[in-house]
Chains A and B, each alone.
Chain A
Amino acid sequence: MSIEVRIPTILRTFTGGEKAVEAKGDTLAGLIDDLDSRHAGIKGRLLTDEGKLHRFVNVYVNDEDVRFLGSLETPLKDGDSVTVLPAVAGGAGESMLAGG
């Protein structure tokens, strides 16, 4: 079982500059653990200390934002594709939406 994970520029320091890497997992949480075993430290950029998906990143499974799927429990199967992007937000006041 192999899943392609597309990595944004800002996280390619963890993947030796690679735009896309392979990882395994039955769920997104499992995939992130596997990813971290191959690219140490990347988990800390994706998950909070409490183990939740960080509001500063968007993760998509087959182009669907996992916040609208099952978040870290989103099931994965062979051939799925996962894309990680930095969330982009800001503004004059407190940003309420991102990371929802």
Chain B
Amino acid sequence: MSVAATPDVLSLPREMVEQALVHARRDHPDECCGVISARDGVATRLVEMDNAERSPTGFTFDSAQWLQVYRELDDADEEPFVVYHSHTATEAYPSRTDIRWSETAGFPYWLIVSTRAEQDEVRAFTIDGAIVTEVAVHLT
């Protein structure tokens, strides 16, 4: 199922993007993953998730932690907004795996950090079926 139509700019607090980058560097060469929730389209909090795969080529949210986090967000009337993860040997662009999972994961935006080079690369996307659209990240 595709997620609701979204604007082509993703506004995020600078410190959240910085936290995602720090998380990606810390877990390198494994992939990191996490959630940014929102209320009424405004980012509210970032939660670092445990990558149950602990793998350099994939991530899966730890299922027990995800239940706890989802419930907290839902109880606070926040919604899944951005799922972020890292690619540690390839570019910051959705893989086939990302595209497949995006259909059902329920996040309007995918933020991908690449840690393959010394300089971090961070890009954001909406994924609707097989259609990947890059969105500008606006730091607030």
Given contacts A94-B97, A97-B52, contact A88 B3 (CB under 8 A): no
Task: Flag B8-25 by CB within 8 Å of A: 1 or 0 each.
Answer: 000000000000000000
- List chain A residues, Cβ under 8 A from B3: 10
* A-B pair number, CB within 8 angstroms: 119
Count B interface residues, CB 8 Å.
Answer: 41
Task: Give the bracket for the number of chain A residues in contact with chain B.
Answer: 20 to 34
- A89 and B58: CB pair below 8 A? yes
- Beta-carbon nearest neighbor of B93 in chain A: A92
Query: Could you tell me which residues of chain A, from 1 to 20, have a CB within 8 Å of some CB in chain B?
Result: 8-10, 13, 19
- B95 and A92: CB pair below 8 A? yes
- List chain A residues, Cβ under 8 A from B110: 90
Q: Among A8, A57, A87, A91, point to the contact of B58 (Cβ < 8 A).
A: A91
- A88 and B57: CB pair below 8 A? no
Judged by a CB distance under 8 angstroms, whether B43 is at the interface is no
- List chain B residues, Cβ under 8 A from A67: 63
- A92 and B97: CB pair below 8 A? yes
Complex Cα gap A19–B67 (Å): 15
Query: Could you tell me which residues of chain A, from 54 to 89, have a CB within 8 Å of some CB in chain B?
Result: 56-58, 60, 63, 65, 67, 83, 85-89
- B67 and A63: CB pair below 8 A? yes
- A88 and B58: CB pair below 8 A? no
- B53 and A91: CB pair below 8 A? yes
> What are 12 A-B contacts defined by CB distance under 8 Å?
A63-B64, A63-B67, A87-B60, A87-B63, A88-B33, A89-B53, A91-B85, A95-B60, A97-B53, A97-B58, A98-B60, A98-B101
A-B interface, 8 closest residue pairs, ranked by CB to CB distance from nearest? A93-B57, A91-B58, A10-B106, A56-B104, A89-B60, A90-B98, A88-B61, A98-B60
Known contacts A83-B71, A89-B105, then 6 further A-B pairs from the complex at CB < 8 Å, ordered by chain A residue:
A85-B66, A87-B104, A90-B94, A92-B58, A95-B53, A97-B60
